[in-house]
Structures are given as structure tokens and as C-alpha cells.
Amino acid sequence: MLMTTKPMFDLAYKGGFGVGAFNVNNMEITQAIIEACADKKSPVILQISKGARKYANIKFLTKIIEACVEEYPDVPIAIHCDHGDTIELIKECIADGYTSVMLDGSHHEFDENVRLTAEAVKLAHEAGVVVEAELGQLGGIEEDVVGLSAEEYEKNLEKFLTDPEQAKEFVERTGLDSLAVAIGTSHGAYKFAKEPTLAFDRIEKIMETCPDVPLVMHGSSSVPQEYVQLVNKYGGAMPNAMGVPEDQIANAVRTYGVCKVNIDTDLRLAMTAKIREVFSTKPEEFDPRKYLGPAREEIVTMVKRKLDVLNSAGKAGEVVKHWEKLGTPLPVYYTS
């Protein structure tokens, strides 16, 4: 069932769970995510980055997601623009049928971030679409999102974390629907120089200044070491790859107001690890189905594991009932 993130976050905030926001780039990744969510009866957010729009052609991705909605009508699905950096892109995403968009102005000065976010909120809300925005700065690199190096980020962490008082002003001046916060996570597979500890005290303060505002964690892949080891075993070179420990992610969603957790790197790792394994152990294989199939199956396994970490398994029915109770219509794209 297609919907915005509102019914998901309404229940997640007080229900001690987070909704997995998984980036989609092709058919196999999308199929695997939805299969896992259907099996676990979990709501899901399918994220499309600017890079994915370029790679796959948004028309193809949209049709793949529409097929997921038809095939799995009991799975609550939101389509989200990940790291939209211009008003023009936000307009395109709304026109393309997204139910949620992100305006990422975190690299701008505060007032400019406010201005851009408020403009995006006005446009999106008129179309029935919800808006996520970001305050603070993350480290790492992922596609078009370039943050700080692991060393620089960890050395000056306090400087880049989201300021609770500034967050309050940001929420009030923009009217956003969810807030992406910098609490010590980082983009990509090489997030940290050493195992991190998330700034849970900072989350608590943000919850106090921004009560009932759903919080979002970017850069939250855990970079499972079994996949890193497989990649390296079969010809890859990923030294010192490290992510956010899963127990800290679980704590963030079960104890604090984190309602959305972004996961992209782990999908890529699972897929690449299995493809490398097939290429190395079966060098005669040239049928794409014989290596993309195992890759898809591995993503299913990995996503199921993430849904348990996020405590969202079994929550799909509650979300659907809440959506129907709200009587919230789909965005204008679907009703005009």
C-alpha cells in the first residue's frame, strides 16, 4: 500500500521502532527489499537518490516500485527522495509521484537552509507530500553527498553535531515533517577510524527541544564484516571498512525518537560480495541470472536482519490501520 511516511512515524515515535529507508537502484535490489518486508510484515521506505535517477532512469524505477505496490498490497510503502539538494529536483520528484522528499540544505548556512527547506515544504505540502530536512553535518562520502574525512569528523565531532536549540528554531521556521540529525553517524563504507559511539545524549536534548518531531539517522549502514571479508576474499580491496554497530542502531530506535534509519551501503556490500563469490568460484558462469539471483537472495537475508534490528517486523498491519484511520489522501499525483 502506497502512503506517505506520516502514519509510519506516528506509530514509530512512541512505539519503539524505526522504519528502514533502503536505497533502490535497480530491479533486483528493489525486489529483495520488498520480499524481505513482506515476509517480516514491516513498513518500508524506498529511497531514490539523485544518482539512482541518473543511473536507472526514474521512469523505470517508478514502474518497478509500482509493481511492488501491486504485488505486495499489504506492505506499507513510501517513495522518498534521498538528499534532494535543489528546489528544482524537489519539483521533479513530486511530479514523478514520490510521497516523501528530502531537501538537504545542511551544507548551506543556517538561514539559507531554512529558506530552501521552507520553500520545499510549501511546494510539497500543497501536493500532499511530506518533507524531511537535515541540520548538522555528517562525515563520509556516498554518491553526490560528500562529507568530512573520518579523521576530521571524529576529531571535531562536537562541532558538527546537530544543535538542539538551533533544531527547535529550524523546525518552527520551516514546518518540516521529519528532521535528519547529525549524532555521530557517517556516510559510506569507511565511516570511522575506530568503532563509534553515537551521541545519545544529543538525541535526548533534541527530543526535549523538538518534542514529537520524528528524527532521521543518515549514514546508518553497519557494514557487516562478513560481507567485507567476502569481498576481500574474492578479489576486492576494502581495508578498514567500518560502520555503525547494530546494537547502537537498535538503541536509537527503541529508546529515542529515531523513526527512520537510512541504509544503502549494506545493500551494495551484500550484492557485491555474492557476485564476487560467484565470479570467483564459478568462472565459467556468464548468465546474469546466476549471479544476480544469489545477490538478490543475499539482500533479502540482510534486509530481514535489519528489520529485526529496527524492531519494525510485524508492524505493517498497525501502520495500514492508522493510515486508513487518518483518512489521509495520497499525494495529488495519484488523485488528479
Which residues are identified as catalytic? 82
Report CA 128 to chain centroid distance, whole Å.
Answer: 20
Please give the Cα distance from 271 to 295 (Å, whole number): 5
96: phi then psi, degrees, rounded to nearest 5 = -85, 0
Sign of torsion, CA 164 170 176 182? Answer: negative
> Starting from the edge strand earliest in sequence, which strands make up the sheet with 145-146, in order?
145-146, 139-142, 186-187
The percent helix, strand, coil of the chain (3-state, each to 5) is 50, 15, 30
Of residues 178, 183, 188, 307, the one with CA closest to residue 250: 307
Residue 335 makes CB contacts below 8 A (sequence gap 6+) with 128, 329
DSSP-assigned beta bridge partners for residue 81: 48, 101
DSSP 289-302: HHHHHHHHHHHHHH
Buried b (16+ CB within 10 A) or exposed e, 288-311: eeebbebbbebbbebbbbbbebbb
Which residues, listed in sequence order, are joined to residue 101 by a DSSP beta bridge?
81, 131
DSSP string, 46-97: EEEEHHHHHHHTHHHHHHHHHHHHHH-TTS-EEEEEEEE-SHHHHHHHHHTT
Distance of alpha carbon 81 from alpha carbon 130, whole angstroms: 11
**Rounded to whole angstroms, how far apart are CA atoms 202 and 208?**
10
Contact 87, 101 (CB under 8 A): no
